[in-house]
Amino acid sequence: MSSSRIQQRMEALKISGRKALIPYIVAGDPMSTVTVPAMHAIVEAGADIIELGMPFSDPFADGPVNQRGAERAINGGMTLAGVLKVVSEFRKDDNDTPIVLMGYLNPLLAMGEIIFCEAAARAGVDGLLIVDMPPEEEGSLVQSAKTHGLDLIYLAAPTTTDERLRAIGRATSGYLYYVSLKGITGSSKLDISDVSQRVAHMRQHVSVPICVGFGIRTAQDAAAVSSTADGSIVGTVLVSQVEALADQPEKIPNALKAILEPMRQAIDTNG
């Protein structure tokens, strides 16, 4: 099977000596018409891959900021079918930037796993990160995702054992998402030294690229993480900015660019 768009992007970055900047926003937050312009702005700011949140009513791994983002999206009428429509709209003008859908299993089960994977691939989705789906899962979602060329990205945490890490590494394609903090998104402060040591240890057990999320708020954070990992995943600080401008949605795309551009520059300078 040929390599995916995510794999190609990560390999190209590695060859050029650069690190990935991977922003996360919630589809439909605060309204569906904002998401595609925001995605294009994110790419203009230097994003290599976009993680697009599929809003869910019980996002238990997310902190208050991202939970409120999901609530705004749902209240604005965003559905799983709507998320796929957003991707299709984005693809009309950008067929290069990889898109990872991040979320929870329940909405996918409600739509039907096979139907979802077919629709996701048709819309232009490249990967799935399903928070509550363990790597041991070999059901119809996993099989259908593989059939349709969708990368399956899994999470590892500071508490993940070496044995478990190896299993996650074998199941993961595209990149491994290392959750740098114990707890929910947006919690506590990033410990760069600890992240560096942990990433170095993880490389002994996994061969896929390792990207770090949770706690990256500033350009300095992104640069420090990228000096050791293969990429920085930036979410809560962006969703917080969307929240601050929820009543001025036309300002959101440029506001996200203003956060990400210094991160891109810092990563390229120091990563």
pLDDT tens digits along 109-131:
999 999 999 999 999 999 999 99
CA dist 219 and 205 (Å) reads 29
Active site residue 51: yes
Rounded to whole angstroms, the Cα distance separating 255 from 153 reads 28
Catalytic residue among 29, 48, 51, 230: 51
Do 37 and 93 touch, CB atoms closer than 8 A?
A: no
CA torsion angle for 176, 212, 21, 94 (degrees, to 10)?
40
137 contact partners, CB below 8 Å, separation of at least 6: none
For 13, the domain range is 5-270
Catalytic position from the list 44, 48, 58, 62:
62
Active site residue 62: yes
Look at residue 188 in the predicted model and tell me its pLDDT.
Answer: 55
CATH number at residue 95: 3.20.20.70
Confidence check: pLDDT of 192 > 70? yes
How many domains, the chain? 1
Please give the residue that has the higher pLDDT: either 27 or 158: 27
pTM for this one?
A: 0.95
Read off the pLDDT of each residue in 85-109 and give the average, rounded to a whole number. 97
Give the whole-angstrom CA distance, residue 268 versus residue 144.
37
Integer angstrom CA distances of residue 148 from 112, 114, 144, 151: 15, 10, 6, 9
Question: pLDDT tens-digit profile of 215-245?
Answer: 899 999 999 999 999 999 999 999 999 999 9
Q: Are 213 and 237 in contact (CB under 8 A)?
A: no
* Confidence band for 16, pLDDT divided at 50, 70 and 90: very high
